[in-house]
């Protein structure tokens, strides 16, 4: 057997030995308890503090006029967190710094409203981003809290 092959086999053997040691020391005890999952992961996830709020009702307690307008509008089935992000900090300390006021750019609106054959058109109004007012910002014509105007 040529010396190069022997050296290559030694390198592979060393690599396999190092990997076996790493697997032995880095694999958690509960690994494989539920297939290819850590058994304790479920408990760790369940023990985490809940970081969401019952959005539309919680937001409506302080933002009743926006909520009333929103409830009768096109976006009534979408909860506030879709645009304003998770609001649990804002509920605990209701300052403007604790809530995301989205920069309502064209791309922001097109996340949901860009023409997409996978979305039902009768449920989500879609626009062709290339043809529909391509140089304008959506909120110049559409108010996200009153999109029918």
CA–CA separation, 78 vs 125, rounded Å? 13
- Do 8 and 31 reside in the same domain of the chain? yes
- Do 91 and 125 reside in the same domain of the chain? no
- What is the pLDDT confidence band of residue 127, given thresholds at 50, 70 and 90? confident
Give the count of domains, the chain.
3
In terms of residue numbers, what domain contains 89?
51-101
Helix (H) or strand (E) run with residue 19 in it = helix 3-26
Residue 14, pLDDT score: 97
- Do 107 and 97 reside in the same domain of the chain? no
Q: Domain containing 89 — which CATH number?
A: 1.10.287.3080
Backbone phi, psi, residue 31, to 5°: -65, 135
CA–CA separation, 51 vs 89, rounded Å? 9
pLDDT tens for 88-109 read: 778 778 887 778 887 777 888 8
Instruction: With beta carbons less than 8 A apart as the criterion, state whether 79 and 52 touch.
Output: no
- Do 71 and 38 reside in the same domain of the chain? no
The three-state DSSP-derived secondary structure of 38-81 is ECHHHHHHHHCCCCCCCHHHHHHHHCHHHHHHHHCCCCCCCCCH
Residue 148, pLDDT score: 58
Residue 94, pLDDT score: 80
pLDDT tens for 30-80 read: 888 888 888 888 888 888 877 666 667 778 888 888 787 777 777 777 778
Instruction: With beta carbons less than 8 A apart as the criterion, state whether 115 and 129 touch.
Output: yes
- Do 8 and 30 reside in the same domain of the chain? yes
- What is the pLDDT confidence band of residue 146, given thresholds at 50, 70 and 90? low
- Do 37 and 74 reside in the same domain of the chain? no
- Do 92 and 114 reside in the same domain of the chain? no
- Do 96 and 112 reside in the same domain of the chain? no
Model-level pTM? 0.52
Q: Which of 68, 85, 101 is the last residue of a domain?
A: 101
């Amino acid at each position: 057997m040529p010396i190069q092959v022997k050296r290559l086999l030694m390198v592979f053997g060393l690599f396999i030995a190092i990997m076996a040691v790493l697997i032995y020391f880095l694999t958690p005890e509960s690994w494989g308890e539920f297939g290819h999952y850590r058994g304790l992961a479920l408990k760790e996830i369940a023990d985490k503090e809940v970081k969401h709020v019952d959005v539309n009702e919680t937001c409506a307690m302080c933002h009743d006029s926006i909520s009333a307008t929103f409830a009768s509008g096109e976006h009534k089935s979408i909860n506030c967190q879709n645009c304003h992000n998770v609001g649990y900090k804002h509920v605990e300390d209701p300052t403007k710094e604790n809530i995301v006021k989205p920069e309502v750019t064209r791309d922001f609106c097109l996340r949901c409203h860009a023409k997409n054959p996978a979305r039902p058109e009768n449920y989500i109004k879609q626009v062709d981003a290339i043809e529909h007012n391509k140089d304008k910002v959506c909120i110049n014509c559409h108010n996200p809290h009153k999109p029918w105007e």
